[in-house]
Amino acid sequence: MADLRSSIAGISSPNPFWLASAPPTDKAYNVVRAFEAGWGGVVWKTLGEDPPVVNVSSRYGALLNGNRELLGFNNIELITDRSLELNLQEIAQVKRDWPDRALVVSLMARMAEEAWVGLVGKIEATGADGVELNLGCPHGMCERGMGSAIGQVPEMVEQVTRWVRAATRMPVLVKLTPNVTNILWPAEAAKRGGANAVSLINTINSIASVDLDLMAPTPTVDGKGTHGGYCGPAVKPIALNMVAEIGRNHVTADLPISGIGGIGSWRDAAEFLALGADTVQVCTAAMVHGFRIVGPMIDGLSQWMDDKGYSRIDDFAGAALANVVDWNSLNMNFSTKAVINQDLCIDCGRCHIVCEDTSHQAIRIGKAEGKRLFEVVAEDCVGCNLCFHVCPVPQCITMRPESNGLPYMNWDQDPRNPLRSEG
Amino acid sequence: MTAAAHSGPQGLDDDLVPPLNALQAMAESSRCLYCYEPACVSACPTGIDIPGFIHRIADGNVVGAAKTILSANIMGGTCSRVCPTEVLCEQACVRNSGEQHPVAIGRLQRFATDRMLANGGSHPFARAADSGKRVAVVGAGPAGLSCAHRLSLLGHRVDIFEAKPKPGGLNEYGLAAYKMTGDFAQREVAFILALGGIVLHHGKRLGETIHLDALSRDYDAVFLAVGLSLPRAVGLEGDDLEGVIEALSFIEKVRQGNRATVGGRVVVIGGGNTAVDAAIQAHCLGAGEVVMAYRRGIAQMGATAWEQQLARISGVAIKPWLAPKRFRGSGGKVTSVLFERTQLVDGHLTGTGVDVELPADLVLTAVGQELRDEDLAGLAVQAGRVRIDADYRTERTGVFAGGDCVKSGLDLTVQAVEDGKRAVLAIDRFIRE
C-alpha cells in the first residue's frame, strides 16, 4: 500500500487531495463533512475584511456535453459572505478537531498593508496551518481592486506577499491567476516577495454560455450577466502547462506548487504531481459529485503507485518535468505512424473522414469481408495522431514510432532551418 | 429494444415499443458515433441519413432531424414503428461490435418524426412551381403516397385513386394495432397531403370505377401502386367452413374498430409478420390458446427473430414443420385443422406421413397475398408481380408501377416508399420530355 502522505511548504496532510478555496469550504459544516469523507486538507473559502460581501442570486454557469456531463464550470460568486468572526471561530474549532488534516485559510484584501496584516494576525490566532493569498479571483472582487486586479501586476503580487510574509510565522501560499500573458511573471514576483509556495491556477475569465432566449450570458441575474471564473475538466490542460512552466523555469523551479485546475480523478492528480506539484486542490469535481469522490481518488492513486512500484509520492514527483521542453528541442528525426488493428475496427469510418477532410489523406478505404478496410498509407501519414484521437475503440488505432536509425536532431541543428547557427 | 427486454403489447392500443422521452432520446442519440458513410444508411432501403438525423437530435434540432428523415422517406413515422430494424439499419450499427447493442435508430426516428407531426405547423417542404402536368396514382398505400408526395414537390398535380374508404393501404388496414397506435396512419396521410397538389378519390377500384386506358389518356403519366390485394387461398378441403378466415381481413376488422372477443382456440397458418400480427392480436382479444403453424422450419419463417420472440412472449405457441391438409368442422363450423408433419430431405420440403390435428375455433390463414391482375388491362405480369424495368416502367408507355405489386426488393413498407420515390425520377423525366 503506497504512502500518500504529502507535504507542501511545511504543511503536511495524510494525502495530497485538498479542497480548493471555494463554495465547498465555506463553513465548518462542509469542511467537517469533507474531512469525514477523507480529504487530506482544505483551503478555507476566502476571508475578507468586515463587513462581509453580499452575493447575488444565480451564480454558476456550465458547459455540458449532450449527456449533461459537465466539461466546464463557471461562477460569479464572491468571497465568503459570512462574518469574519464566525469564520475564524469555526476555523479554530475545526483545526482543533482535525489536527492531522491541512487547514489553510484563503484571504483577500485591498492593496493596503494594514488590511492584509490585520487579517493574517487573526487567522494565525486560529491555529490554522497556513494562509493562501487570493490574488486571482477574476470576477467581482477585481472590480474593487482585489483578486486578479492585484495578481495581474507582478509588483503588487510581490508587495502583498512581502507584507504577509513579514507579518506571520505561518507558511504563505500565493494563489496565481491564469489571466496573464506569462505565468512566470507573477510566480517570480511571489517568490521575490517570500512566498513559501504558489497555488495555481485560479479560475479563467469566461462567459459560460449565452442564453439565446434571454440574449444574455449565463449565469443570468435579472436579464444581465457578467464574466465569471472558469474551471472544471476543460481547464486542466491550461493548468498543467502553467504548473510545468513554473517547474522548469530556473528562477521558480524550487517553488513548491499546489496544483489546481480540472482535477477530478486520481489520474488527473498524478499528472499534476508528475509535473512537479506537491499537492493538488479540487473544487469542481466535488461540486459535481460531492465529497465522496475523494475515495476513488485516494485508492486509485494508491493502486497505480503500487502497480508502478512507487512507494511514496516523491518517487514520481516531478518525473515528467524534464520531458517538458521547448519546441525547438524536439527531435526532428522522430517519426510515428498510425497503425489500425483491423480486428478491433468497427467500420465507423471516422478516421478516414477526418484524415481525408482535415489532414493528410493518409487513410484509404479498401474492401474486406463484409466491411470496409481502412488502411494507413504510411508514406502519407505524418503521425499527427488525429485518427488515434477520434477512433471510438480503445487500442484500435495506435501510434507506432518508426525505427529509422536517424540520430537526434533538433530544429537548431536541422539543415532545413534557415536561421540555423552554423557549426 | 430487444425482444428479451420486452413483455409484448399490454393491449391492442398500447404501443408495442413505447416512444422515447426527451431524456432517453438525448442519451440514446449520444451513443451514435456519427460514422462516415455507414452501413446503417446502406441498410435502409430509403437511404435515410441516419447519423445526420441522430446528430441533429443530440444537437437539440429535432425539427431538422425530422426533415432529414422525411426528405428521404416521407413515411419515416410509419417506418420507425414497423420496420424490422433488427434486420435493416440496427443490424448494421457499429455499436453491435463491442457493446453488442445497436443505437435504437428506429425509436430515435419515431422521436423526431412524432415531434414534427405533433407540431401541427406548416409542412416542412414546399412545392416547386406548377408544371402544368397531371399524374394519376392508383392506390393510396405507402408506394402511392410516397410517389404522389414527391411528384407534387416537383410541381406536378396528382390525383390518387383508392378503392378503400380510407387512405394508407396496409398502414391503415394491414398492420397490428399495437404498432400503429393513436390513428397514426391517418395522421401521417394528413401530414403528407398537407403539402398540397394532391387530391384523393375514394371508392375508385381499377377495372371497376376507373380504367387504365382512360387514366393513360387523361393524365400525363400513371403510377400503379395497387399492392397485392388478393389474399392467397389455402385451397384445402374445408376452407369454406365458418371460422376459417384470412388473417389480413381479421387484422383489417381489428384495425377498423371491431374488437369482438376472440374465444377458444386459434390456429394461425403462416410464418410471416402478418401471421404474427394476427396471432398476437387474437391473443390480445381473449383467445385461450393461439398456435402459429408453419410448414417449414423456424429459420425459414418470414417473421424476423424479434417478431417470433415477440409472439412467444405474448403467449403464442409457434409450431414449425406442419403443413395444413384439411379443415375439419361440425355443423358448418371449423373444429380443427389437420396437418402433416414435414421435414427437409435434400433441401426439399417433404411430408413425413405423420398427421397432427390441432383443435381450432378460429383459423386465420396468412399464406401470402396475390396480385389482382385481371384489372391491369393486360400489363405483363412476371412471377405474380407487374413487370417493370429498372426505371419502374411497365410495358405500357407512361405507366409506371411500384410497391408490393412489383418485385423491387424486400416486401416491406420502407421498400414501397422507396419505390414511389424512385419511380418519380423516371416519371418526372418522362412527362417533361
- Domains of chain B plus CATH, in order, are 3-119 (1.10.1060.10), 134-229+371-432 (3.50.50.60), 231-368 (3.50.50.60)
Q: What pLDDT is stored for residue A77 in this prediction?
A: 96
Digit-coded pLDDT (tens) for B91-127: 999 999 888 999 999 999 999 999 999 877 678 999 9
Among A137, A283, A345, A351, the active-site one is A137
On the question of pLDDT at A274 being above 80, the answer is: yes
Contacts 24+ apart (CB under 8 A), A357-360: A358/A386, A359/A384, A359/A386, A359/A387, A360/A384
ipTM score of the complex?
0.84
- Closest chain B residue to A343 measured between Cα atoms? B97
Contact A347 B94 (CB under 8 A): yes
Digit-coded pLDDT (tens) for A73-83: 999 999 999 99
Distance CA B365, CA B400 (A): 31
Distance CA B327, CA B237 (A): 6
Stretch B407-415: mean pLDDT, rounded? 93
Residue B4: pLDDT band with limits 50, 70, 90: very low
Stretch A124-134: mean pLDDT, rounded? 98
User: Measuring CA to CA, how many Å separate B19 from each of A283, B80, B88, B281?
Assistant: 39, 10, 20, 20
* Minimal Cβ distance to B35: which of A65, A66, A349: A349
Distance CA A284, CA A265 (A): 11
Contact B26 A67 (CB under 8 A): yes
Stretch B133-145: mean pLDDT, rounded? 98
**CA end-to-end span of chain B:** 48
Stretch B307-326: mean pLDDT, rounded? 95
On the question of pLDDT at A421 being above 80, the answer is: no
List residues in chain B touching A: CB distance below 8 A.
26-27, 29-30, 33-39, 58-59, 94-95, 97-98
Please report the DSSP string for A331-359 in residue order. -TT--EEEEE-TTT-----HHHHHHHHHS
Q: What pLDDT is stored for residue B122 in this prediction?
A: 76
* Backbone φ and ψ of B57, nearest 5°: -60, -45
Distance CA A249, CA A186 (A): 13
Strand A371-376 to strand B316-319: parallel, antiparallel, or no bridges (unpaired)?
unpaired
* B313 class by beta-carbon count within 10 Å (0-12 exposed, 13-18 middle, 19+ buried): middle
Contact A67 B39 (CB under 8 A): no
Stretch A31-43: mean pLDDT, rounded? 98
CA A146 from chain center: how many Å?
A: 22
Cross-strand partners of A64: A70
Digit-coded pLDDT (tens) for B38-70: 999 999 999 999 999 999 999 999 999 999 999
Distance CA B104, CA A75 (A): 37
On the question of pLDDT at B1 being above 60, the answer is: no
Nearest alpha-carbon partner for B264 in B337, B363, B365, B356: B363
Across chain B, mean pLDDT equals 94
Distance CA B425, CA B116 (A): 26
DSSP helix/strand/coil, B53: helix
* Minimal Cβ distance to B58: which of A66, A347, A348: A66
Residue B302: pLDDT band with limits 50, 70, 90: very high
Stretch A368-394: mean pLDDT, rounded? 94
Q: What pLDDT is stored for residue B121 in this prediction?
A: 65
Counting one residue from chain A and one from chain B, the pairs whose CB atoms sit within 8 A come to 39
User: Which chain B residues are closer than 8 Å to A349 by Cβ?
Assistant: 35-38
Our answer to whether residue A391 is catalytic in this structure is no
Percent of chain A that is helix, strand, coil (3-state, to 5):
35, 20, 45
Secondary-structure class of domain A6-323 per CATH = alpha beta
* A7 class by beta-carbon count within 10 Å (0-12 exposed, 13-18 middle, 19+ buried): middle
What residues does CATH 3.30.70.20 cover in chain A?
A: 331-401
Between B358 and B8, whose confidence is greater? B358
**CA end-to-end span of chain A:** 53
Secondary-structure class of domain A331-401 per CATH = alpha beta
Whole-model pTM: value is 0.90
What residues does CATH 3.20.20.70 cover in chain A?
A: 6-323
Nearest alpha-carbon partner for A94 in A86, A109, B52: A86
Percent of chain B with pLDDT over 70: 98
